[in-house]
Structure 1
Amino acid sequence: MPAGPSTSSRSFSVGAQAVVQLRDIAVWALTSRGCDLARRISADLGATLFLPEKFAAPDEQPFQLFSSAFPKNFFRFRHHVCVAASGIVVRCVGPLLRDKTTDPGVVVLDQEGRHAVSLVGGHLGGANDMARKVARLTGGQAVITTATDTAGLPALDLLARERGLVADHPERFAPLAAALLDGEIVQVLDTEDYFWSRLREMGHGDMFERVPDVEAWQADRPGLWVSWRRPPAQPGEPAVLGLHPRRLVAGLGCHRGVSEASIIAFVRDVFDKNGLALASLTALGTVQARAAETGLRSAATALGVDVAFFSSEQLQTVRTPNPSEAAARLVGTKSVCEAAALLLARTDTLVVAKTKGVELTLAVALRYDSNGLREYE
């Protein structure tokens, strides 16, 4: 196998601000008595401690107004534990909430430590687990109100993240949970067992029915479609959720000056026509001669994928089904998109062979390793 490509990593951003690194836990208090409890919790959790100026020691983070300090630091931490009245926290946190898949978890605790309330981000934000952890530290009671937890049902959003699966419509976690709460049996298509065995290990197998193949899938029932292929169209939009492993890579050939919009539209079109889940795309690959194309790099960022660049010599070593003499004259290799896809996937089989568009070509392959581009870095 030839030496790997150069890669560029995508950055994570919240709104317009790029976040380089999130800290883990912030602990807040407002009263003198609350500060004593917050110091104990912060020490046990290894957290950053925020206290009012009049109570803060030199090694603690002072603030004048909670209503201004909390919003300023909200997205700098994964978890917030507030020893404060729930009302003031609710008023501060409400305008900050954007998306439950990225919002930090917030726990509110009374100054006696009797109740640790999971306020925001119970599952994906980790607030439920944090409330339990804080309650153990204070000898109090964790207050969890998410219906799946109180009913002993699986948190599908957390489990999907644990298994490295991307939801095509995250808003459908809620109707699926509602179906489970109503006692419906949810069908699961999972031919490669990304999800099913874990459900059974957790003791939830009797709430689900595994369907063996696409032909057995019932379009009018709630279900989990776990595959790198796209689920079929659903009449009436029932509670059907696609969970997709990030295993598809795409090789791209493009003319100079091609726009971000053209690339994104072409990729979407090829994936749609071939029944592939765009959420499973993890990387784009192309020839090094296109490394300066801003449209390509911005398209990769917009799609949420990495981009890798191969030298012409690397690409030329790969046998492909559709070589091109024109490509050889232009960039020094008979194949760009197919060769790049095969190199990225470390395979010799394409899921989608070279597809031509205006100024663009695309090929798709399925990778079998679990590391993506990390092998090349």
Structure 2
Amino acid sequence: MKIAIISVSDKGQKLALNLKEQLDDDSTVLKTDIYHKNVKKHFPYLFYEYDAIIAIMASGILIRTIAPLIESKVTDPAILNIDDNGNFVISTLSGHLGGANKLTKKIANLIDAIPVITTSTDVNKKLGIDVLAKDLYLSIDNTKEILFFNKAILDGKKLEFTINPEKNFKYLFEYIEKVTLEMDVSFSHSNDVNTNEIHVACDNHKIILKEKSIVVGIGCRRGKECFKIYEGLSDSIDKLGIHISRINMLSSAEIKKDEQGILELSDKLNIPVNFVGLDKLKLFESNDIQKSEFVYSKFGIYGVCEPSALITAGFDSKLIYKKTSYDGVTISVAISK
């Protein structure tokens, strides 16, 4: 997640700097940039360049500024509103698909504030269909149906989930079982459903949830043991809330294609691994990857885990977990569009 923090007062700027310092240590946050004053000038840029905007200012200023920019719950960034004293963190826009509700709770915890969330499903302790999709990294084929399904959930109606019997959907079952918010569901199986899809039906309405491709990029020192690589992978997906069965692919550079630790991990987890050619890695460009001069001096490429994950996840993919080191192992996670 790329986060912009914008403030208008000196007190707000001080709070922004404190918040940035904490977020910079979070591997799920790719970058945090700070902006100060000139709200009307900055917002049209921030709105399209960041996944989330934290506005430390009066709500009136924020609402008047974003009103002309709002387009859709599918594309609008998450927007949070914080008062100068840091007493309240308010989820203002894109609470579910944009992740504002979840980010609100995280930020409130970091600055010891009160989180304010107003979405109907949340306040009524129900699990929205779009929350489920966001948490499990699923796309929604017809976002216009979200309103119907969330109203059905609020009304206590049962949702019928249909999945392919050949696919391991342990991540879905465990999520439904563990989540604290309520959703009344039943499951059925059909070979007519694609293995990467979940069909949800209620009262002649249907919505299709489709897995985005999740790729774990791996870099490691020569001879690193399988269990050491697994420890790094396990920690990263735990922080993202991803079940092991939700991972679609492992990835690394072709220089690691004989690395027994990676090959053994792929075999034990039953997750395929893609080794990306050096020519592709040399040509790959992204402002989001962390460049290593050491790796470049040895192999002529600026990195292994981040670029290999992004290339494997496909065009327009993005990082959701930046390169993080685990005792000689580096892990990143990318997701397809």
Q: TM-score range by the shorter chain?
A: 0.5 to 0.7
Partner residue, 1:167: 140
Q: Are residue 244 (structure 1) and residue 206 (structure 2) matched? A: no
Match of 1:176 in 2: 149
Find out whether 1:40 has 2:22 as its counterpart.
no
Gapped regions of structure 1 (runs ≥ 5): 1-22, 53-64, 216-224, 248-370
Does the CA-based 8 Å contact 1:118-1:127 persist in structure 2? yes
Distance apart, 1:28 and its partner CA: 0.9
From 57, 60, 63, the counterpart of 1:84: 57
Secondary structure in 2 aligned to 1:96?
A: coil
- Cα distance, 1:374 vs structure 2: 2.8
Partner of 2:312: 374
Letter in 2 for 1:33: K
Q: Name the counterpart of 1:28.
A: 6
1:77: Cα distance to partner? 1.1
With over 3 angstroms needed to count, the CA separation of the structure-2 counterparts of 1:376 and 1:91, relative to structure 1, is closer
Kept in 1: contact 2:125–2:182 (CA 8 A): no
TM-score (norm 1): 0.48
For 2:177, the aligned partner's letter is R
Normalised TM-score (structure 2): 0.53
Q: Secondary structure at the match of 2:68?
A: helix
Task: Sort the Cα spacing of 1:150 and 1:108 in 2 relative to 1 into closer, same or farther, 3 A.
Answer: same
Q: How far apart are 1:181 and its partner, in Å?
A: 0.6
Percent identical residues: 23
Structural mapping, 1:1-377, within 5 Å: 24-46=2-24, 47-52=32-37, 65-192=38-165, 194=169, 195-202=172-179, 207-213=184-190, 238-245=204-211, 374=312
How far the C-alpha of 1:144 sits from its partner, in A, is 0.6
Structure 2 counterpart of 1:374, which letter? T
The root-mean-square deviation of aligned C-alpha atoms, in Å, is: 3.5
* Counterpart contact for 2:161–2:186, Cα < 8 Å: yes
Give, as a single letter, the amino acid of the residue that structure 2 aligns with 1:242: I
Q: Secondary structure at the match of 1:98?
A: coil
- Give distance in 2, aligned partners of 1:31 and 1:376: 42
> Structure 1 residues 66 and 198 mapped into 2: Cα distance closer, same or farther (>3 Å)?
same
Paired residue secondary structure (1:111): coil
CA contact (8 A) 2:126 2:182 kept: no
Q: Render the CA deviation track for 1:47-91: whole Å, top value 9, x for unaligned.
A: 211113xxxxxxxxxxxx211211122211111111101111111
8 Å CA contact 1:227, 1:244 repeated in 2 = no
CA distance in 2, matches of 1:246, 1:49: 30
Work out the number of aligned pairs and report it: 209
